[in-house]
Amino acid sequence: MNQDNIESILEETRIFSPPQSDTSFSSLDHWQITSDAFTTDFEGTWGKLAQQHLTWQKTFTQVLDETNPPFYRWFSDGQINLSENCLDRHVKYGLGDRTAIIWQGEAGDVRHISYTELLANVCKAANTLKSLGVKTGDRVVLYMPMIPETAMAMLACARIGATHSVVFGGFSAQSLRDRIEDAGASVVITADGGYRRGVVHALKLSVDDALSQGCKSVNHLLVVKHGGNDVAWQEGRDVDWHEALAAQSDICPAEILDSEHPLFILYTSGSTGKPKGIVHSTAGYLLWAHLTMQYSFDFKPESDVFWCTADVGWITGHSYSVYGPLSNGGTSLMYEGVPTYPDAGRIWKICQEHQVTVFYTAPTAIRALIKAGDDYPNAYDLSKLRVLGTVGEPINPEAWMWYHKTIGQERCPIVDTWWQTETGGHMIAPMPFATPTKPGSATLPLPGVFAEVVDADGEVVKEGGGLLVLTKPWPSMLRGIWGDKSRFIETYWQKFANKGYYFAGDGARKDEDGYIWIMGRVDDVLNVSGHRLGTMEIESALVSHPAVAEAAVVGCPDDIKGEGIFAFVTLKTTETNDLVQVLRAHVSQEIGAIAKPDVIRFTHDLPKTRSGKIMRRLLRDIAAGKAITSDISTLENQSVIAILQGQ
């Protein structure tokens, strides 16, 4: 994490009492009682919640199967369909006319989609997928803009038991190809284009590109005509979404699925190798997406308008744009476009126009909006807002205070939610009307979550710094890495194998009140604007360019993005004037624009220990422009330091 942020977080002492509310969790006593219920009867409490909140096709008799850790199974003899829980049950109980999705287009167009309408479209999409040969257990990749059809496609997959894998539309054709091949998808769903800053981005072009380089498993491409741009069309393979849906029935019985049926695969970066496909199951994931809407956001489906600004290409979009709000029968707002387009007031304009009550975004967006100035939010009526959330990266106290004062007008609790792609839903977060908050702290584990800060031996740290672990399984935990059991064990379970703890990869500090302060990743994973990127992935992209011999990538402080990307590169060829631009474009093509290094510094050598390991701490100090604190006595070639420092 950015050193200034760490320092401001370490100095933070302010405490804010939760606002008064008549909600079900209205004091820390309620948090304690609910948390205690899990301590006293872990399985019984989870079982009761799963019965109360979800609609089952066949009820379960066993809550947790721990016979083969870390391959935990939840509610495993039960049967359930997620799309039935997100749609049919609401329509059946008379909520068919309620708005499920409010969609705001960047160009100004708005759609309100009711539960009845959404169910009908999901059934048509499910029948379309079936007509294209998709069966239960097949994989379908989505490469889509933020439009209602994306949610429809996800729910249609869930309805027939096809495992979806959404790939963020900002990833390159190359990254898309890797993911399609790893998942072995038989169908890809995309759009002709999506809007960003008034420009239509040609999504289908990237899919065509990816498919032309491999992806032999793909039989069909289902294309939503949305951007109005011309696209190449391969007869027999490409299918028009609207035409296909129009020909299908709006009735499609929900497939009977086991609780553990793989609902989705979502690729995320780790410290080694290519991105890994995190696998989530159906029942456990759904239960926690459903419950955390209530715990962390105090979500009231009958009256709230919930807006999560994350793209559905990330876990936040899965759990809190689509599944969490819809499972509760509430209204979710989806915005296609850039939050600062045409100006930095766009977000607040949308909040005013659609009367958003619960708003959820990333600290990076908050910092960018602070920079744009208070005139933007002050020009809009934000009085309907009642809860404000943040996610994805540590929030610096200054940004927290601005969010609290300028946006929340000191009325709205700030909910800083710590979680990961792997956890499926929130793990550490305040309950907005129960937990006193401290700027920069995600506060306390949610009821049912057993999180601790431990030392290198796995011993619990009562107060102070250490590593963040989860000491008990939880229903929405990842079930594995697609196709790679040993990587799953090595990445998450090996470090504290003697204790059976899940290792999150984050450093954290526990204060005198038991509050947890997340200090950032302790592995070679960067957090750039709340997006996770592996340093090794970027290094591999750089060395795949013919001019590059070796590359070392580290994070560097960035006031807006939290962390920037700093690459040290040795060359095979001589340096040319445009090489920095060429290499940035190359990384963009290999991974996506989000992975473009902010700084590329050429050097004739990288600092290595005598055993040949790159001295990353030294590089991090240099990238941060700091005095060198690491021990350089083992550095082979000490003269390289001045070059690395750009002198």
Q: Taking CB under 6 A as the rule, does residue 439 contact ligand PRX? A: no
> Who's near 92: CB < 8 A, 6+ residues apart?
none
Q: Taking CB under 6 A as the rule, does residue 316 contact ligand PRX? A: yes
489-502 residues labelled b (16+ CB within 10 A) or e (exposed): bebbbebbeebebb
Residues 184-243 that bind ligand PRX (CB under 6 A): none
Nearest to 526 by CA among 498, 489, 557: 557
Q: What is the full DSSP assignment across 316-340? A: HHIIIIIIHHHHTT-EEEEE-S-TT
Indicate the residue among 150 and 292 with the shorter CB distance to ligand PRX.
292
Residues 362-391 that bind ligand PRX (CB under 6 A): 391
Q: Taking CB under 6 A as the rule, does residue 421 contact ligand PRX? A: yes
Cα–Cα distances in angstroms (integers) from residue 151 to residues 140, 155, 230, in the given order: 13, 6, 24
Closest separation between CB of residue 508 and ligand PRX, Å?
9
Residues 166-185 that bind ligand PRX (CB under 6 A): none
- Measured from the Cβ of residue 406, the count of other Cβ atoms closer than 10 Å reads 17
Give one word for 65, left, alpha or beta, with left for phi > 0 and alpha for psi -120 to 50. beta
Closest separation between CB of residue 393 and ligand PRX, Å?
5
Closest separation between CB of residue 396 and ligand PRX, Å?
11
Q: Taking CB under 6 A as the rule, does residue 282 contact ligand PRX? A: no
- Only one of the segments 194-202, 478-486, 504-512, 537-545 lies at the binding site for ligand PRX (rule: CB under 6 A); that segment is 504-512
User: Coil, strand or helix: which one is 16?
Assistant: strand
Binding mask 236-275 for ligand PRX (x = CB under 6 A): --------------------------------x-------
Q: Taking CB under 6 A as the rule, does residue 442 contact ligand PRX? A: yes
- Only one of the segments 130-138, 485-493, 514-522, 603-611 lies at the binding site for ligand PRX (rule: CB under 6 A); that segment is 514-522
Q: Taking CB under 6 A as the rule, does residue 420 contact ligand PRX? A: yes
Q: Return the C-alpha torsion angle 400, 307, 442, 265, nearest 10.
A: -140
Indicate the residue among 145 and 394 with the shorter CB distance to ligand PRX.
394
Token pair recorded at residue 99: 């708005």
Contact (CB, 8 A) for 619 and 555: no
Q: What is the full DSSP assignment across 542-591? A: HHTSTTEEEEEEEEEEETTTEEEEEEEEEESS---TTHHHHHHHHHHHHT
Q: Taking CB under 6 A as the rule, does residue 528 contact ligand PRX? A: no
Indicate the residue among 88 and 416 with the shorter CB distance to ligand PRX.
416
Closest separation between CB of residue 402 and ligand PRX, Å?
17
Give the span between the Cα atoms of 343 and 333, in whole angstroms: 19
Half-sphere exposure (Cβ direction) of 642: Cα atoms closer than 13 Å: 2
Edge-to-edge order in the sheet of strand 262-268: 238-240, 220-224, 187-191, 139-143, 163-166, 262-268, 276-281, 480-481
**Among the listed residues 392, 432, 473, 534, the single contact to ligand PRX using CB under 6 A:** 392
Residue whose CB is nearest to ligand PRX in the complex, by number:
421
Nearest to 369 by CA among 106, 560, 197: 560
Tell me, by CB under 6 A, how many residues bind ligand PRX.
22
Kindly report the length of the chain: 647
Q: Taking CB under 6 A as the rule, does residue 521 contact ligand PRX? A: yes
Indicate the residue among 164 and 532 with the shorter CB distance to ligand PRX.
532
Indicate the residue among 161 and 432 with the shorter CB distance to ligand PRX.
432
Q: Taking CB under 6 A as the rule, does residue 506 contact ligand PRX? A: yes
- Only one of the segments 40-48, 392-400, 431-439, 555-563 lies at the binding site for ligand PRX (rule: CB under 6 A); that segment is 392-400
Site residues for ligand PRX per CB under 6 A? 268, 315-316, 391-394, 416-421, 442, 504-506, 518, 520-521, 527, 532
